[in-house]
Amino acid sequence: MKYWLMKSEPDAFSIDDLQQRPGQTEHWDGVRNYQARNMMRDDMKIGDQVFFYHSNCDSPGIVGIAEVAKEAYPDFTAFDPADKHFDPKSNPDKPTWFMVDLRFVRKLKRAISLQELKLKPELAELALVRRGNRLSIMPVTASQWDFILQLE
């Protein structure tokens, strides 16, 4: 089993939104970055654990845990010209973009802010705190995962 961190803007889709979805499950559409796509398509398996990170908000940080509920399948929002994430280069016969489904696991007892994560030498290698990182999906090692959870 692998560990991941996935970013979402809480104004668009928050951990609370995930918790309130039917089955507490939602598809993770709109990823339009090849590195992030490759991780979803090639490496994310059912049961993988995911830190849910709130980005681009007042207090960016890790707010909860989700798990992979369905492995990669074509991101159908890329096929819809009316959709914000429409991509004419992608089509159902040969999709460019993929998504997974996530299921809510739990919220953390407290949010762990980016500010706090940046201070921890144990997390120096975490892509999230590295300069200029903009990846919306990134791997987390087992030791990073355990370390972050014991901060809770």
- Looking at the Cβ atoms of 11 and 23, the one nearer to DNA is 11
Number of amino acids touching DNA (CB under 7 A): 19
- Looking at the Cβ atoms of 20 and 56, the one nearer to DNA is 56
- Looking at the Cβ atoms of 23 and 81, the one nearer to DNA is 81
Interface with DNA includes 115 (CB under 7 A)? yes
Task: Name beta bridge partners: 137.
Answer: 6
Q: Where are the alpha helices (DSSP H) in the chain?
A: 15-20, 34-38, 114-118, 142-151
- Looking at the Cβ atoms of 33 and 46, the one nearer to DNA is 33
The set of residues, in sequence order, having a beta carbon less than 8 Å from that of 55 and lying 6+ positions away, is: 7, 8, 9, 136
| Binding to DNA, residues 62-91 (CB under 7 A) | none
Contact 90, 53 (CB under 8 A): no
Shortest CB 46 distance to DNA, Å: 25
Within 10 angstroms of residue 116's Cβ, the number of other Cβ atoms is: 15
- Of 11, 23, 134, 150, the one binding DNA (CB under 7 A) is 134
| Binding to DNA, residues 13-32 (CB under 7 A) | 32
| Cα–Cα distance measured from residue 3 to residue 84, given in angstroms and rounded to the nearest whole number | 29
Residues near DNA, by CB under 7 A: 7, 9, 32-35, 55-57, 60, 114-115, 118, 131-136
